[in-house]
Amino acid sequence: MMEKKSNQLIWREGVPVSSKFDDPYYSLDGGLAESRYVFYQGAHIQELFRNSDHVVIGETGFGTGLNFLATWQAWLSDNDKPRMTFISAEAYPLSVSDLKKAHSAFPELAEFSETLCAKWPPPSSGIHSISFENGTITLLLLFGDATDVFSKLSAKVDAWYLDGFAPAKNPNMWTDELFKQMARLSKPHATVATFTAAGFVRRGLIANGFSIQKTPGFGRKRERLVGKYKSPDSKQTQIPPSVPQWARYEPSNHKTVAIIGAGIGGLMVAHALKKRGVDVLLFKDPASGNTSEKLPAAILAPKFIMGASPEQRFYSMAFAFAAQHAAYIDEKHSVQGIRFVAKTLEDKARLKKIAALYQWPDNWMALDGEHIVLPKGHSLNPRAIIPKLSEDLRIETHPIQKIQHSNGGWQLLDPSNNLIIEADTVVLAAGLDSHNILKQSNLEGVYGKRHPELRANAGQMEIVANNSASLASQMAISFDGYLTAPLPSDDENSFRGIGSTYERLEAIPNAPPPSTMHKRQEILQNLYDNTGIRIKNTDVANSWTGLRATVFDHLPFAGPIPQWGDLIEVCQPLTLDAKNRLHRDVKLHAGLYMLAGLGSKGFQYAPILGEYIAAMITDDPLPLPTDLMARLHPARGIIRELVRSNKNL
């Protein structure tokens, strides 16, 4: 969520003006011409397009998005068309209606504006990743104060648009702390351009490593500033110092990437890598009883928690990204949306507090009496989505039992110890099998016994024909369980999924436990207790059971795999005090990553985490704030054990 900030628009000579800062969002002399001259030309973007296969542009104030739209338009007309990532901070996100009105002054941008507005995210703090041009352009919207959100960004920026309300109107946007973050994130010789020539801005940029010159300004402004970041004397890292030394990552050689697991997690990593031009091969175990493809139904609904925290932001960001993912939007259903229903007075009060706290617009969240409706929530048919996602990928149906180092890369071996393939980079995305593969691989002798612990949880779902007389409401419902909207089945009729149980298993079984009538009754009774919908046993077509891979703290494992022996050695100071600084970063198994433990939220978490893992591998800007790196890291369980032990492990 974001703290509600007052920034109403007024209109002056057809230009939007901030009532809070009494300053226009773009020049009264011509906003589009100003954007092209001051920023696109001033930061030498066309030259960057010509000399790079991936251009990263950072902007300190998104505003109406005019600079992004103008740069996108220029990219489209450019012959080179490299991949482009446009990163922009915004403390006061405008509504879609205000964006459309502001863009209406520029008819030549109408098509670009329409596409942006259709994908405009809810105003939740954090990073919102939006794809355009089949993934060739990525917009990372950082909602929050510029200095704060950039301090939680990992990126290497080629060019800066230093934009925002005038320094005299909003000096908090032009601070030494912001310039420090720009310097941390800049590539050597990164360009910078801004409309202002204020002396303290010029001095602040120079003090933080930029060479700055005054050049002719636009319109009524006599001068503006342009410049470059000087090459640092020593190697810089884009990872902020606030990230624990045990939770950092390094890009890997990714000429060939093998992904073990072809469920929703592996597929989303593969698609994210493929759009970055990486050669990917997935491995699917034909004997695995825990594949996403076998799941009959799922819903896309976020976990709402009160208060601001990195976890809360993750749930919102993951939902917002998944809700607009092309693979899910293409799924056609008669009814979209999710209704959160409340049974008790306490639940009703909580839903009202959530609606008031999140303050999402009606196209993302609406308070309907005592219930919350999420219009962009989805009911999903995995048996249609997984094959569709698999169509344009190379997938081998072959079991992988272990991996081992080889010539700076990795060898993948089958259960008979036969070499299947060698790859530069490996991503473990095989659900519960990821646990077994690490255990069998024994990468570090005795320390190989330590690995991210995945837990097995069994679940049962009931499948009911949509023609049941009890199912008058067609919208999906979320409560302490769920009822999907109607989903198409193989016989052209529709069905609905009702779920589900959650049973912790002491060990990882070879197959899910069988369904039981007792669990069916539990599921149907829970539906009735929370919604008043009564389903007869005779209306249930069949039951489905599956296994979930979960983690002790309910967040997935997503990130690089460390060398466990080195991790334990370097992190010994944490046994004395969890806040102790380590003397160096922990060594990693180069080119080895993990995405597992998605639990019952695989279809919701996998899209953004696929982008997250792909960005780590390719050294792209991360689509999640860096304060989530430790909370998602595969080593966090061992770190917790170290901190709690007060002794050597």
Residue 338: which residues within 8 A CB-CB, separation 6 or more?
A: 299, 300, 301, 373, 374, 377, 378, 379, 475, 476, 477, 478
User: Mean pLDDT for the chain?
Assistant: 90
> Which of 255-259, 344-348, 415-419, 471-475 shows the lowest mean pLDDT across its residues?
471-475
pLDDT band per the 50, 70, 90 thresholds, residue 490: low
pLDDT of residue 492: 66
Locate 275 and state its tokens. 């759009």
Amino acid 446: pLDDT: 42
pLDDT bin (cut points 50, 70, 90) of residue 649 is very low
Residues 227-272 pLDDT 10s:
999 876 555 668 999 999 999 999 998 899 999 999 999 999 999 9
| Tens-place pLDDT, residues 124-178 | 999 999 999 999 999 999 999 999 999 999 999 999 999 988 898 899 899 999 9
**518-539 per-position pLDDT tens digit:** 999 999 999 999 999 999 888 8
The angle that helices 96-103 and 66-77 make with each other, rounded to 10 degrees, is 60
Would you say 262 and 294 are in contact if contact means Cβ atoms under 8 Å apart?
no
Q: DSSP of 340-407, one letter per residue?
A: E---SHHHHHHHHHHHHHH---TTT-EEETTEEEETT-EEE-HHHHHHHHHTTS-EEE----EEEEET
pLDDT classification of 112: cutoffs 50, 70, 90: very high
* Domains identified in the chain and CATH numbers: 9-229 (3.40.50.150), 245-292+385-453+559-617+633-645 (3.50.50.60), 455-550 (3.30.9.10)
Phi, psi angle pair for 526, to nearest 5°:
-65, -40
Q: What is the pLDDT of residue 70?
A: 97
Helix H segments across 223-369?
264-274, 310-323, 326-329, 345-358
Rounded to 5°, the CA angle 452-458-460 comes to: 150
The answer to whether 475 and 338 have CB atoms below 8 angstroms apart is yes
Span 54-102, pLDDT tens digits: 999 999 999 999 999 999 999 999 888 999 999 999 999 999 999 999 9
End-to-end CA distance of the chain: 39
pTM (predicted TM-score):
0.95
**C-alpha atoms less than 13 angstroms from C-alpha of 71 in its C-beta half-sphere:** 36
Backbone angles phi, psi at 179, to 5 degrees: -65, -35
List of residues 6+ apart from 220 with CB closer than 8 A = 27, 28, 29
Q: Is 86 helix (H, G, I), strand (E, B) or coil?
A: strand
pLDDT at residue 469, as a whole number: 57
Sign of the alpha-carbon torsion through 623, 625, 628, 629: positive
Backbone phi, psi, residue 407, to 5°: 50, 45
- How large is the average pLDDT for residues 278-282? 96
Dist. CA 386–CA 327, nearest whole Å = 9
- Determine the distance from the C-alpha atom of residue 454 to the mean position of all C-alpha atoms in its chain, rounded to a whole number: 22
Encoded amino acid at 503, one letter: E
Q: Which two tokens stand for residue 536?
A: 């007869």
Buried b (16+ CB within 10 A) or exposed e, 499-518: bbbebeeeebeeebeebeee
**Do 340 and 355 contact (CB within 8 A), yes or no?**
no
Contact 617, 252 (CB under 8 A): yes
How far apart are alpha carbons 37 and 85 in whole angstroms? 20
Average pLDDT score over residue span 477-488:
91
Determine contact, residues 127/150, Cβ cutoff 8 Å: no
